[in-house]
């Protein structure tokens, strides 16, 4: 499938779905046979064969954050946003210049610019009804609401880290959690940079303090992305941008995209200020908890400098953003902006919860695959199966489904990938496994030709969870 429209004017006459299919059909986004992406930041698998134009007719609603449509939309949206940043491979552009030119080139740029606003509305429409900020709009109300939200976040354990700690294979679960952090950790503060330009007083300088902290005050070895890469290497994991693209979940993708979404539209600046203030305030206790969980699993074998740095610096950042950004903007600009500041706090809390829930569910499912082999036999089919045939040379990609599915190997053998590290689940002819709605997986042929069936599971008689 090749991009079909090369001008924004002609693309605007198409449906959103058609434009997105044209974008996803670029050779850059078709993937290859490797499970992990190599050191080429311009290529990432958008699984174009799994997309259809009607996928983009109805936005995901409440409870559908991990749906197929949501995952597809946020993969596309994340790629759109990153095309507005500078990505250069550490090893240089030798052999990659054509991909660099295509990624930033006019053909894909026209498709992006003709789609991005509509795709944002599609991807984030569910936030409109999920957050209600009616009521008194004063700095005092704002601060009370903010303090309550932060205290609530600090009071309970992270669902994702709790799932890591409770997993049978804790190291593998911890690596899956690390990969979700890598989505932002290896390009940290890129969204924030879009709100640093202009002239808006002391609040601009306060945000810049945080930005330069993230960038190590101009010292590359102290840059937060650099020390995040060290943490990955200490686990024997790849440290280049989007090596683990195939294993990013919809919730973490949406969380990362949310800050780009707010930063791209300066009419949402006050919403961004609320969101970033909440994020900075809850990061410190979250990283303290992560240090405790990872130390318990790995001892001193993992480099947690990144977590220790954030646990320390984000206490400072939390004070700066609350006092010098959130409340300062409310006082300076009055009650008309307070609802947007409130909305930013509430949306950041909500979307952070989606990150946690999606990651926790993937960890629990991946950790109980033997049980889900048993559950496959108890599932009731809701219709005829879909058949796929794969060879070892076919492009590898991951996806999820809106409803539960039973994966059955019809011929040959396959490897099922649900986590970025550790051995895949080997499946032979006749083997079956229940894939719950929203769970990410990828299938790779382990024989010259492998055929498998996907049986939709009846929602009236779903298999019981483990």
Which phi and psi angles does 301 have, rounded to 5°? -80, -10
pLDDT of residue 465: 55
Distance CA 334, CA 345 (A): 17
Could you read off the pLDDT of 303-335 as tens digits, one per residue?
999 999 998 898 899 999 999 999 999 999 999
Res 401 pLDDT > 90? yes
Region 132-367: CATH code: 1.20.910.10
Q: Structural domain boundaries of the chain?
A: 8-126, 132-367, 370-456
- Give the number of other CB atoms < 10 A from CB of residue 57: 12
What is the mean pLDDT of the segment spanning 282-286?
94
- Same-fold call for 132-367 versus 370-456: no
For residue 88, the number of C-alpha atoms closer than 13 Å in the C-beta half-sphere is: 6
Among candidate residues 306, 156, 294, the one with its CA nearest the CA of residue 224: 306
Band of the pLDDT at 136, cuts 50, 70, 90? confident
Residues of 78-107 as b/e, b for ≥16 C-beta within 10 angstroms? bbbbbbeeebebeeeeeebeebbebbebeb
Burial class (CB in 10 A: 0-12, 13-18, 19+), 380: middle
Could you read off the pLDDT of 31-51 as tens digits, one per residue?
999 999 999 999 999 999 999
The two structure tokens encoding residue 386: 């879909």
Q: For the domain 370-456, what is the CATH superfamily, name and number?
A: Jelly Rolls (2.60.120.10)
pLDDT of residue 259: 98
Could you read off the pLDDT of 413-462 as tens digits, one per residue?
999 999 999 999 999 999 999 999 999 999 999 999 999 999 999 886 55
Could you read off the pLDDT of 200-242 as tens digits, one per residue?
999 999 999 999 999 999 999 999 999 999 999 999 999 999 9
Q: What is the pTM of this model?
A: 0.94
The three-class DSSP label of residue 288 is helix
Among candidate residues 398, 193, 389, 161, the one with its CA nearest the CA of residue 295: 161
Res 163 pLDDT > 80? yes
Band of the pLDDT at 289, cuts 50, 70, 90? very high
Distance CA 48, CA 349 (A): 32
pLDDT of residue 314: 84
pLDDT of residue 65: 87
């Amino acid at each position: 499938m090749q991009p079909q429209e090369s001008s924004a004017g002609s693309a605007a006459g198409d449906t959103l779905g058609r434009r997105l299919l044209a974008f996803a059909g670029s050779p850059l986004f078709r993937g290859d046979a490797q499970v992990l992406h190599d050191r080429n930041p311009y290529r990432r698998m958008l699984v174009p064969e799994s997309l259809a134009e009607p996928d983009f007719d109805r936005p995901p609603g409440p409870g559908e954050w991990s749906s197929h449509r949501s995952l597809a939309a946020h993969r596309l949206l994340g790629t759109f946003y990153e095309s507005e940043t500078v990505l250069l491979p550490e090893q240089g552009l030798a052999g990659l210049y054509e991909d660099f030119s295509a990624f930033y080139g006019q053909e894909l740029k026209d498709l992006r610019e003709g789609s991005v606003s509509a795709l944002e509305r599609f991807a984030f429409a569910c936030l409109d009804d999920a957050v209600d900020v009616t009521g008194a709009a004063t700095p005092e109300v704002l601060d009370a609401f903010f303090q309550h939200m932060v205290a609530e976040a600090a009071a309970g354990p992270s669902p994702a880290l709790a799932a890591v700690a409770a997993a049978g294979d804790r190291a593998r679960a911890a690596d899956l959690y690390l990969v979700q952090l890598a989505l932002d950790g290896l390009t940290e503060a890129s969204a924030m940079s879009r709100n640093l330009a202009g002239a808006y007083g002391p609040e601009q300088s306060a945000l810049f303090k945080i930005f330069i902290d993230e960038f190590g005050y101009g010292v590359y070895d102290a840059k937060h992305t650099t020390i995040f890469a060290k943490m990955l290497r200490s686990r024997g994991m790849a440290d280049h941008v989007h090596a683990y693209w195939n294993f990013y979940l919809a919730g973490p993708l949406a969380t990362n995209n949310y800050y780009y979404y707010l930063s791209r539209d300066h009419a949402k600046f006050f919403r961004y200020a609320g969101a970033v203030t909440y994020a900075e305030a809850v990061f410190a206790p979250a990283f303290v908890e992560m240090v405790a969980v990872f130390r318990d699993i790995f001892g001193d074998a993992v480099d947690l400098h990144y977590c220790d740095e954030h646990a320390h610096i984000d206490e400072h950042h939390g004070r700066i953003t609350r006092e010098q950004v959130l409340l300062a903007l409310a006082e300076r600009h009055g009650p008309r902006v307070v609802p947007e500041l409130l909305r930013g706090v509430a949306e950041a809390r909500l979307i952070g919860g989606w990150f946690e829930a999606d990651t926790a569910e993937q960890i629990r499912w991946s950790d109980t695959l033997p049980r889900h082999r048993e559950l496959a036999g108890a599932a009731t089919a809701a219709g005829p199966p879909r058949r796929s045939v794969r060879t070892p040379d076919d492009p590898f990609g991951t996806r999820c489904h809106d409803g539960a599915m039973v994966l059955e190997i019809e011929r040959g053998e396959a490897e099922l990938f649900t986590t970025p590290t550790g051995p895949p689940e080997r499946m032979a002819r006749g083997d079956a496994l229940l894939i719950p709605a929203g769970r990410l997986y990828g299938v790779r042929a382990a024989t010259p030709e492998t055929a498998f069936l996907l049986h939709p599971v009846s929602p009236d008689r779903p298999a019981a969870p483990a």
